[in-house]
Amino acid sequence: MLQRPRRNRKSPAIRALVEETQLIPSQLIQPIFVRQGTAIQEPIKTLPGSFRLSIDKVLAEVETCLKLGISVFDVFPVVAENLKDKQGTYSYHADNFYLDCIAKIKQNFPESCVMTDVALDPYSSDGHDGIYENGKILNDETLPILANMALAQAQAGADIIGPSDMMDGRVGYIRTHLDKHNYQDVSILSYTAKYASAFYGPFRDALDSAPKYGDKKTYQMSYTNAREALREMELDTAEGADMLMVKPALCYLDIIQLLRQNSHLPIVAYNVSGECAMIHFATQAGFLDYERAVCETLLSIKRAGADAIITYFAKDYATWYKQK
Ligand code: PBG
């Protein structure tokens, strides 16, 4: 036998030498759920390991993550029901706690990078990402609200705007609005290929943002489609997106690879709440080794072609990475 592939696996040193994929904490984005109040760290039943945090606790969490080498945070608001309306107007209110949280993170940790979420659903009494009227989503009427929201976030100090709403034309609309107000330096990480997925369940529990009627299939993509992701990629690129996202990650590793091979922009994958919950609950049931399952999962996303990963495992991964 001339060829013996096992020779390249014979010791930890050789295995490390020929490792094709590596994942370092600076390539991870930590999601954070912020709510009103003080000294609150509220567990989320369907998403073990994640919490709804009041702003003081968010600041402590950011500090911990920064020490572990994670510098980018994707912040989501948990909005009280009485602040929601059909147009999601609370999203750009001057006294909005979410905007306050963004500002406080940037004031306390200027070296951090704050990414936001742009969509109506956390603020919408209908639980949809766009304006909902008589069973329909009003695409073009939603765009100015998204642009107001993005501008308010930029004014609060956000570094990266993350439109997750999947309305047509929103990247260009937001880009133009930001530029008109002199926020040329604020980036857009577009949710380019966002699929209508069963794996968002725990996130919607965390935010209490599930649609009150219908589903999101007229704006989020069908899991049957790959070419359509290329179409969205071309549009978002032409509209000025700085980075492209594929979401969820695990059922869509092929889409990550497809976009990586067809775009020059950085590709970010969102390892979503349901994907994280599966590993937590299997671990709790005694079926999986948590650390090994998480590392294999995250490395598979990287290997598929993601440049960066948004994941609820970020802090745990960075902790293990530091101990290695
Ligand atoms: C809202 C939004 C969702 C997620 C991120 N932004 C949920 C949805 O579209 O219903 C899901 C993230 C996750 O499941 O971790 N537009």
28 domain residue, yes or no = no
2 domain residue, yes or no = no
306 domain residue, yes or no = yes
- Averaged pLDDT of the chain: 97
Residues 73/54, Cβ–Cβ less than 8 Å: no
**Cα gap 77→121, rounded to integer Å:** 10
Percent of the chain with pLDDT strictly greater than 90: 99
Q: What's the pLDDT band for 126 if we cut at 50, 70, 90?
A: very high
30 domain residue, yes or no = no
CATH code of the domain containing 300: 3.20.20.70
**Cα gap 274→205, rounded to integer Å:** 11
Residue ranges making up the domain that contains 268: 51-323
1 domain residue, yes or no = no
Residues 126/182, Cβ–Cβ less than 8 Å: no
Mean pLDDT to the nearest integer, 284-311: 98
**Residues with beta carbon inside 6 Å of ligand 1?**
117, 119, 121, 129, 164-165, 200, 203-204, 216, 272-273
263 domain residue, yes or no = yes
247 is catalytic: yes
Indicate if the pLDDT at residue 76 is higher than 90: yes
81 domain residue, yes or no = yes
Q: Which of 225, 294, 309 is nearest to 260 (CA)?
A: 309
324 is catalytic: no
18 domain residue, yes or no = no
pTM of this structure = 0.97
Residue identifier of the C-alpha nearest atom 11 of ligand 1: 200
Indicate if the pLDDT at residue 82 is higher than 90: yes
Question: What is the number of structural domains in the chain?
Answer: 1
